[in-house]
Each structure stands twice: as C-alpha cells, then as structure tokens.
C-alpha cells in the first residue's frame, strides 16, 4: 500500500544525545515535511523539502537537521542543541502540482521522550 | 498573508446530536481548504478538501463543510455524532499559487462525545 512510514514510533533519549527519526514515502511525492506537535497544541513546521538535495527551514528549525538524498526519504535529526526535544514528531508529504496540490499525507508519528 | 482561526478549542456534544466545528480563514488569493482529524497518538487523516469546485464538500465518515467566501468560513458539520468521532480536528489553508510550504494549520478543536 502507498503511504508514509515513520520509525521508531517511540524513542527515548538521554540529554546530550543526537537521535534520528526516519521518514519514508512511496507516494512519489516531491514535497516532504517535518512537524512538531506539543500537547494540546497545533503543528509547527520544522523543515521542508520540495526537491531532492534541497530543503528549507521552517518556523522552529533550531536544534534540528535534515537531509534529502533520495526522493523517498527525509530523515530528521534532533541534536543536543534542541533545548526541549520531548514532543510528537510528524512527517508528511504532498504533491507539488496537479489535483492533489496542498493535500498532506501523514505518517503515524514518532514520540520522542528525553530522560 | 494567510491565516486560519479555529474558533473553539473544545466542543462537547451528545452522541446522536449535530456537530459544528468552526473555522475562519484569511487568504490573499484563491485558497485551498482542508479539514484533518487526529486520534490520540496517531497521524492526521484528511476528512475533506475544498479546491475551487463545489462549495459544499462531502468527506469521509459523514462529515461535510461549506466554503463561504463572503464570510471567509469553512465550518465542519456532521448531522449525528458518533462516539468514534471523538478526536482533534484541524482546519488548514493553503494558497494554490504559492510554494508548497505555505500550508497553515489552525490550532485545533478537540471534539468530545457524551454518551
């Protein structure tokens, strides 16, 4: 089935450690996104990419890094520079043209807890 | 600039009664509008979308929304609530003539269903 796969679903990290969250899609979408969601709040954009080997910072990029070496993959690294990394992270993809433009397809999310 | 306002952070209805979740938007151009639903610890799922075709849009699970340009509204309704409708709902606006990054989320409305 076509869709977006995020892993791991749950992740625990000690302070000072970097962690990488995986996001893979087989929808052939050009654009991919990472959002952060805190309890009782909406979604905030961390990074997005509209094409392979190119990505842009979103509203809260500090302490995070990404890569886009393949169309299907958009991993997010939460670095030790991120002061408050405990959150629910959502990856999404979308077409950049055609009838589906602007519609986001989401993964199931990854919950990161810093111990 | 685009913006979206969900007028209620929490709505509680009895099972079998109508649901109304309110959303107002601001957009300089022709907007695309979406409603997504999120169950606890899950990703977001598209309920319905408006992309300049019919102003009354029907979605999944009996939900529908009406695009009213004069009122800049896109309220979500359902004639009869079911217990399984309890979730968080997000109204989203995107500008079809801007980059794929210009996707704006509302802050969400938590829908509770009373037995």
Is the model's pLDDT at A60 over the cut of 70? yes
Is the model's pLDDT at B95 over the cut of 80? no
Specify the higher pLDDT residue, B86 or B55: B86
B95 → chain A, closest CA residue: A102
Mean pLDDT of A33-43: 90
Is the model's pLDDT at B27 over the cut of 70? yes
Q: Note whether B42 contacts A45, CB cutoff 8 Å.
A: no
- Give me the pLDDT at residue A101, please: 66
A99 → chain B, closest CA residue: B51
- Give me the pLDDT at residue B51, please: 82
Q: Note whether B101 contacts A58, CB cutoff 8 Å.
A: yes
* Averaged confidence pLDDT in chain B: 91
Q: How far apart are CA A52 and CA B5, in angstroms?
A: 33
Is the model's pLDDT at A97 over the cut of 70? no
* Chain B residues with a Cβ under 8 Å from any Cβ in chain A: 32, 34, 36, 41-46, 49, 51, 90, 92, 94, 96, 99-101, 103, 105-108
Chain B residues within an 8 Å CB radius of A56: 101
Residues recorded for chain B: 115
* Averaged confidence pLDDT in chain A: 92
- Give me the pLDDT at residue B1, please: 74
Confirm if A67 and A76 have CB atoms less than 8 A apart. no
Chain B residues within an 8 Å CB radius of A30: 100
Q: Is the peptide bond before B74 cis (omega within 30 degrees of 0)?
A: no
* Chain A residues with a Cβ under 8 Å from any Cβ in chain B: 4, 6, 30-31, 33, 41-43, 45, 48, 50, 56, 58, 88, 90, 92, 94, 96, 99, 101-109, 111
Strands (DSSP E) contained in A9-95 are 10-13, 19-25, 31-37, 43-51, 54-57, 64-66, 76-78, 87-94
Q: Sorting pLDDT into bands at 50, 70 and 90, what band is A11? A: very high
Is the model's pLDDT at B113 over the cut of 80? yes
Confirm if A68 and A83 have CB atoms less than 8 A apart. no
Is the model's pLDDT at A15 over the cut of 60? yes
Q: Residue B69: exposed, middle, or buried by beta-carbon count in 10 A (0-12, 13-18, 19+)? A: exposed
Mean pLDDT of A83-92: 94
Chain A residues within an 8 Å CB radius of B107: 41-42
Is the model's pLDDT at A102 over the cut of 60? yes
Q: Sorting pLDDT into bands at 50, 70 and 90, what band is B103? A: confident
Mean pLDDT of A70-78: 97
Mean pLDDT of B48-56: 86
Q: Which of B100, B110, B111, B112 to mutate to test the interface with A (most CBs of A within 10 A)?
A: B100
């Amino acid at each position: 089935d076509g869709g977006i796969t995020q892993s791991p679903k749950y992740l625990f990290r000690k302070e000072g450690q970097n962690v990488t969250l995986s996001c893979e899609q087989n929808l052939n979408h050009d654009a991919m996104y990472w959002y952060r969601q805190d309890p009782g709040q909406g979604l905030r954009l961390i990074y997005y990419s509209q094409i392979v080997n190119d990505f842009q910072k979103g509203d809260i990029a500090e302490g995070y890094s990404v890569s886009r070496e393949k169309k299907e993959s958009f991993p997010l690294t939460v670095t030790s520079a991120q002061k408050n990394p405990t959150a629910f992270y959502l990856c999404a993809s979308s077409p950049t043209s055609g009838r589906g433009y602007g519609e986001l397809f989401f993964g199931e999310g990854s919950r990161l807890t810093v111990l | 600039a685009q913006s979206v306002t969900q007028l209620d952070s929490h709505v509680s209805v009895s099972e079998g009664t109508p649901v109304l979740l309110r959303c107002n938007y601001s957009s300089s151009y022709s907007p695309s509008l979406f409603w997504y639903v999120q169950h606890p610890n899950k990703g977001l799922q598209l309920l319905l979308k408006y992309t300049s075709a019919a102003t009354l849009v029907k979605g999944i699970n009996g939900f529908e929304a009406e695009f009213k340009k004069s009122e800049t509204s896109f309220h979500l309704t359902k004639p009869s609530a079911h217990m399984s409708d309890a979730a968080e709902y997000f109204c989203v606006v995107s500008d079809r003539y801007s980059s794929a990054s210009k996707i704006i989320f509302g802050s969400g409305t938590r829908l509770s269903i009373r037995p």
